[in-house]
Amino acid sequence: MSKRKILISACLIGENVKYDGGNNALHVKVLEQWREEGVLVSLCPEVLGGLNVPRPACEVLEGTTTVLCKSGEDVSEEFAKGAKESLRIAQEEGVCMAILKARSPSCGKEIIYDGTFTSTRVKDSGITCKLLQESGITVFSEEELFLAEAFWRQKGE
């Protein structure tokens, strides 16, 4: 049987894939442990969808699957493509859970920005997060690492 895996937003482990060319690296013991064990599968749905680094900031229009850049460009197709590719990789790798970047238009879980670029938050999830959840993959944000670690132990081999 192959080893269980954890999908993780690439920016959370220090890859410079954020829209501004930076990252959101977390320096926590459990992520280092999982990295050493070889169970992390890192990816960036937006890059997988064909968007560049850096790229304009994007937000999901509230209550839709339409994703717009701050410039007004519609990048919904790229976000959908990135979500589908993320799911394909997750399934191929045997991922049982995901740790995704909070509030991201792709990865945000339960709270994202509303598409007005005014820092207004709404109760919704990002495009990739929704697809992973609909496909049966349990998703945590990086703000829920304690819960993710407990889930991982509970699902232990």
**Which pLDDT score is estimated for 2?**
60
Q: To the nearest whole percent, how much of the chain has pLDDT over 70? A: 98
Characterise 115 by phi-psi region: left (phi > 0), alpha (psi -120 to 50), beta (else).
left
Q: How far apart are the first and last CA of the chain?
A: 10
Output the CA torsion sign for 16, 119, 67, 128.
Answer: positive
| 100-119: average pLDDT | 97
| 110-115: average pLDDT | 96
Rounded distance between C-alpha atoms, residue 43 and residue 9, angstroms: 5
Number of Cβ within 10 Å of residue 21's Cβ equals 11
Query: What is the value of pTM for the model shown?
Result: 0.95
CA nearest neighbour of 19 among 72, 88, 66, 69? 69
Using an 8 Å Cβ cutoff, are 133 and 110 in contact? no
pLDDT in tens, 81-93: 999 999 999 999 9
